Amino acid sequence: MTKKINLFANLKSDFASGLVVFLVALPLCLGIAMASGAPLFSGIIAGVVGGIVVGYLSQSHISVSGPAAGLTAIILTAITDFGAFDVFLLSVFIAGIIQLALGFLKAGSISNYFPTNVIEGMLAGIGIIIILKQLPHAFGYDADFEGDQAFIQNDGSNSFSFLFNVINHIQIGAIVISAVSLAILLAWDKVPFLKRLKLVPGALVAVIAGVVLNEVFVSSGSSLAIAKEHLVSLPVPKSFDDFKSILIMPNFSAITNPQVWVVGLTIAIVASIETLLCIEASDRMDVQKGYTDTNVELRAQGIGNIISSLLGGLPMTSVVVRSSANNNAGAKSKMSTIIHGVLLLISVLAIPAILNKIPLATLATVLILVGYKLAKPATFMHFWEKGKYQFVPFIATLVFVVATDLLKGVALGIIISIIFVLRGNLKRAYIFKKEQYEDGDIIHIDLAQEVSFLNKAAIKQTLNEIPENSKVVINAHDTEYIAHDVLDLIREFKETRAIDENIKVKLKGFKEAYELENTPENNNHVTIEHYYDVAKRALVKRETSKEEF
């Protein structure tokens, strides 16, 4: 059950996080547009629409939409084949219409079948990609465009060999600015006095320090000065006519061109899958444990792509890098996403010359920390300790996301997870029954012998439809295996919605095997310290319990 989000309830923290996402998104919007062979401002337009329009329509607390690196190859090929950007914009318009239709057809429910270890593997893989791709920028080597995620380079080299090539292009000034930026970012998270300055994010202070340092280097004629090609490069309109030329309308006369429809369908499918993956990941990162209606999200993305195409913007998706930065910066609601879009719009119109003084090395440092938080060693140990059935899909997804791309990596991870699951029993996950008592409804959910991630959607739907002030018994006495995705679902239901809506929850058969238990003081509070041991202790004989409400 989705609650209405108060956009102004956490304005202080949302403004600070929106500012951080703006700083991260600006070079990414420009870099992706450049790599796509599109006008630079088309990336900014997509970022603005993704922030303001999709941000407002979406139900996600932390997801941020904008131009995505995963679409660059499709865009570049389409623009080259069409020979006209306005014809390509018609494909984007069609893609938006298709996404809107998918939302109304409830195609977003497919996201319920993404297993958690695959989502976590995708996030860790993207974290490693960010680190590999941003380290050269931190050392002053900017041969790759911002937002590039390709492992294999155009010259046949790969991300690792490219990283070693940095040694031949090191700039001492960039290293100094990166080191100062890193020190500020780490201090902002560790020093108690600085942590209290939530309205002033560490990323903004790091960026200002980078700009000031480089200006000092330039004015003093120091050899440490960073050249123009290593700074943010935003086009600076000189007149009102320049602004008018930015807005390009789709060429609707090409509507009968079959290739336009093929490209539109391709963009719609790829953008929708990437969005659903990012939404599932964002909900997992969200400390507030919000539940995003993915069908609403598809409709929001469709409307966003329609508007972006009408203004001359690139197609967009929900993007993991920006969403992760938003979460790490402390976003509480989607107001942060909207603020980032507003800041993009205001800054590129009002202060492009100032933004062009920002060193790419500073922004690289911000992103490297984002990448580290996505791929922390603790995440690897967490899945290693849960056994091969969780670790293998996790690590396979990670490796293939890094070596190929997001969609191929996730597809492989899901295939491996399904192979593992098919070795067990795929019968119905639970029996659902409701009995009438004088003191109100008591709803019984009896879990089957084996409950896999494939059963997550049905159980989630059942829990979501339980009315307020109910009493629920979830019985796992006969269950030999429960996927940790489902345990997550039950835990979050018991710790959040059940408390908010006065739903009394009684768990049976969970205590010994999963450390998911009732506390005698309050049925709605649970303590889970080691319930992930399920992967190693799938076959456990449980004590019976006849406790009732």
- Asked if residue 491 belongs to a domain, the reply is yes
How much is the pLDDT for 400?
93
- Asked if residue 97 belongs to a domain, the reply is yes
For the entire predicted model, the pTM comes to 0.77
| Tally of domains in the chain | 2
Place of tokens 């090395």: 361
| SS3 category, 312 | coil
Final residue belonging to a domain, choices 366, 398, 420: 366
Instruction: Tell whether 358 and 461 lie within a shared domain.
Output: no
Low-confidence ranges of the chain (pLDDT < 50): 1-2, 424-427, 437-439, 513, 519-549
Write the CATH number for 507.
3.30.750.24
Contact 70, 270 (CB under 8 A): yes
d(CA 326, CA 320): 10
Instruction: Tell whether 345 and 443 lie within a shared domain.
Output: no
- Asked if residue 377 belongs to a domain, the reply is no
| SS3 category, 505 | strand
d(CA 324, CA 64): 9
Phi then psi for residue 444, to 5 deg, are -105, 130
How much is the pLDDT for 116?
87
Domain that holds residue 511: 430-535
d(CA 323, CA 331): 10
Instruction: Tell whether 62 and 158 lie within a shared domain.
Output: yes
DSSP state of 147: T
Count of residues in the chain? 549
- Sign of the dihedral defined by the CA atoms of residues 266, 269, 275, 278, in that order: negative
Of 270, 253, 252, the residue nearest 309 (C-alpha) = 252
Query: pLDDT tens digits, residue range 408-459?
Result: 999 999 999 888 776 544 445 555 555 554 445 678 888 877 787 777 877 8
Final residue belonging to a domain, choices 347, 366, 385: 366
Final residue belonging to a domain, choices 335, 351, 366: 366
What are residue 15's DSSP bridge partners? none
Instruction: Tell whether 350 and 436 lie within a shared domain.
Output: no
Instruction: Tell whether 75 and 155 lie within a shared domain.
Output: yes
d(CA 175, CA 179): 6
d(CA 266, CA 451): 35
- Asked if residue 397 belongs to a domain, the reply is no
Instruction: Tell whether 330 and 440 lie within a shared domain.
Output: no
- Asked if residue 49 belongs to a domain, the reply is yes
Neighbour tally for 116: CB within 10 Å: 24
How much is the pLDDT for 295?
94
How much is the pLDDT for 165?
84
How much is the pLDDT for 420?
78
- Asked if residue 344 belongs to a domain, the reply is yes
CA triple 158-164-165, angle to 5 deg: 85
Contact 263, 326 (CB under 8 A): no
- Type and span of the H or E element at 19: helix 11-35
Query: pLDDT tens digits, residue range 205-221?
Result: 999 999 999 999 999 98
Mapping DSSP onto H, E and C, the string for 86-133 reads HHHHHHHHHHHHHHHHHHHCCHHHHHHHCCHHHHHHHHHHHHHHHHHH
- Asked if residue 421 belongs to a domain, the reply is no
Tell me the C-alpha to C-alpha distance, in Å, between residue 123 and each of 75, 365, 500.
24, 19, 30
Of 283, 302, 285, 364, the residue nearest 28 (C-alpha) = 364
Contact 89, 255 (CB under 8 A): no
- Asked if residue 389 belongs to a domain, the reply is no
